[in-house]
């Protein structure tokens, strides 16, 4: 588990309008949460924070926050990035939540599941690899959090599947999912069903339903016989 230091400043600007001033000055507003501790408002340099994310993209990292003006050392402010809030229009990061942690207490986090290799079922038989579960929820000490969980799919054939119970998880990590859940599977190729379409200009013969016609004609004959019988009765 990587540890890095990050300089942040205490933030007194609270409220929608004042937060805009923070963003316009090149900072991202943030909050540091801690179990049983009062939340602290801070701000982090945008360029420095974006560089950190780019360098450690997709990784769970321990951030030692050095809050300017505080007597605490950075190592006493061990944090994880709990949440990033984005602008829905341009996807720009507008707020960061840091979660303060203890290095000696287990926490729950999600780590990415990465597929490695090319399945024989895909390569030779034209199947498709379906990635159903992209993150694994685990519980462990912060220092034990792995970067990701790799799954070798090279030997997977058509209709083969990898369940959570099949994953190789480092010692000391507790998986919080149902072990029978499917992570990856190889499905057969989809057969395309082509409907026959009449050629342009071709005459489509109407379907003739003979039974109905015969019934209809039979019905007419019966009515004629009934009328004859009625006339005979009148003459009598």
CA angle 71, 73, 79 (to 5 degrees): 120
Q: What confidence tens digit (pLDDT) does each residue in 174-210 have? A: 999 999 999 999 999 987 666 666 666 655 565 555 5
Q: Under a CB-based contact definition with an 8 Å cutoff, are residues 154 and 119 in contact?
A: yes
The predicted model scores a pTM of 0.68
Distance, CA of 125 to CA of 148 (rounded, Å): 29
Q: How far apart are the first and last CA of the chain?
A: 114
Q: Which helix (H) or strand (E) holds 222?
A: helix 210-235
C-beta contacts of 12-19 below 8 A and 24+ residues apart: 12/41, 13/43, 14/41
Q: Under a CB-based contact definition with an 8 Å cutoff, are residues 96 and 8 in contact?
A: no
Instruction: Output phi, psi for 164, to 5 deg.
Output: -60, -35
Q: Under a CB-based contact definition with an 8 Å cutoff, are residues 94 and 28 in contact?
A: yes
Q: What are the Cα distances from residue 61, in Å, to 11, 147, 225?
A: 23, 9, 97
Per-residue pLDDT of the chain (236 residues; tens, 9 = 90+): 667 899 999 998 888 888 899 999 999 999 999 877 788 999 999 999 999 999 887 678 899 999 888 766 555 689 999 999 999 999 999 999 999 999 999 999 999 999 999 999 999 999 999 999 999 999 999 999 998 999 999 999 999 999 999 999 999 999 999 999 999 999 999 876 666 666 666 555 655 555 544 444 455 555 555 555 555 555 55
DSSP state of 143: G
Q: Under a CB-based contact definition with an 8 Å cutoff, are residues 134 and 113 in contact?
A: yes
């Amino acid at each position: 588990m990587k540890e890095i230091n990050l300089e942040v400043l205490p933030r007194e600007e609270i409220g929608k309008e004042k937060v805009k001033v923070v963003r316009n000055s090149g900072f991202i507003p943030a909050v540091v949460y801690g179990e049983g501790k009062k939340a602290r408002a801070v701000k982090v340099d945008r360029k420095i924070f974006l560089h950190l994310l780019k360098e450690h993209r997709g990784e769970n990292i321990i951030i030692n926050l050095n809050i300017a003006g505080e007597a605490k050392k950075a190592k006493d402010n061990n944090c994880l990035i709990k949440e990033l809030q984005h602008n829905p229009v341009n996807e720009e990061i507008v707020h960061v939540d840091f979660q303060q942690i203890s290095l000696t207490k287990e926490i729950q986090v999600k780590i990415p599941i990465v597929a490695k290799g090319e399945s024989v079922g895909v390569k030779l038989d034209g199947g498709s690899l379906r990635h159903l579960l992209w993150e694994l929820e685990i519980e462990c000490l912060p220092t034990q959090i792995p970067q990701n969980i790799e799954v070798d799919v090279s030997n997977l054939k058509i209709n083969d599947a990898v369940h959570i119970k099949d994953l190789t998880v480092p010692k000391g990590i507790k998986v919080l999912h149902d072990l029978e859940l499917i992570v990856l599977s190889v499905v057969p190729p989809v057969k395309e069903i082509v409907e026959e379409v009449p050629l342009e200009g071709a005459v489509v013969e109407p379907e003739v339903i003979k039974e109905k016609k015969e019934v209809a004609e039979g019905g007419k004959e019966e009515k004629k016989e009934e009328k004859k019988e009625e006339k005979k009765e009148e003459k009598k």
